[in-house]
């Protein structure tokens, strides 16, 4: 089916696509996004979160360290980089917890969530992105889980990551 570029942006592209449903063609606007990676980092029962202002919702959020993939980039490499850039932490390795599509009704973004294995303070910290202002927050994992239930943490990838970790602990 035909797909036409409407907007080519820095973070995402917008296309108009013809889709066939029950032998009839409909137009759909679809956001093309390279995907993202989040890293859940837990040390001594505390989860590492970043607090930052998000202009799209005009509010500060508490999130797991995360970032956008470059097209073709390995998600694990992205996760290691983002963990270091945003928090000054590194780890022995990353273990994939899950991946999911964020909003498949109009966007093809896939997010990979990794768990940091044996995290430590980075020997060398990478520079943060110029347009980021991030504060580091260590929060008791149980408290963070409560925050996902009462809306103090409402970032989707973070809610999913914390819920997944809690589910695995209760198995």
For every residue of 109-125, which 3-state class applies, written as one string?
A: CEEEEEEEECCEECCCC
Mean pLDDT of 17-28: 95
Model pLDDT for residues 27-46, shown as the tens digit of each residue: 999 999 999 999 999 999 99
Place of tokens 């889709």: 19
Q: How far apart are CA 144 and CA 54, in angstroms?
A: 19
Residue 102 banded pLDDT, cuts 50, 70, 90: very high
**Tell me: domain 34-169, CATH 3.90.79.10, correct?**
yes
Mean pLDDT of 110-135: 92
Where exactly does CATH 3.90.79.10 map onto the chain?
34-169
Q: How far apart are CA 48 and CA 40, in angstroms?
A: 7
Enumerate the active-site residues: 130
For residue 171, pLDDT over 70 is answered with no
């Amino acid at each position: 089916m035909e797909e036409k570029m409407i907007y080519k942006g820095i973070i995402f592209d917008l296309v108009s696509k013809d889709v066939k449903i029950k032998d009839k063609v409909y137009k759909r606007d679809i956001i093309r996004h390279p995907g993202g990676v989040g890293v859940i980092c837990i040390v001594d029962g505390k989860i590492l979160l970043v607090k930052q202002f998000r202009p799209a919702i005009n509010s500060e959020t508490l999130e797991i360290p995360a970032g956008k993939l470059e097209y073709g980039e390995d998600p694990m490499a992205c996760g290691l980089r983002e963990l270091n850039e945003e928090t000054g932490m590194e780890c022995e390795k990353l273990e994939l917890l899950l991946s999911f599509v964020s909003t498949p009704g109009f966007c093809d973004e896939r997010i990979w969530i990794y768990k940091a294995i044996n995290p430590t303070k980075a020997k060398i910290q990478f520079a943060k992105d110029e347009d980021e202002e991030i504060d580091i927050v260590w929060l008791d994992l149980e408290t963070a889980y409560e925050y996902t239930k009462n809306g103090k943490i409402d970032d989707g990838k973070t809610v999913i990551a914390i819920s997944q970790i809690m589910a695995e602990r209760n198995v």
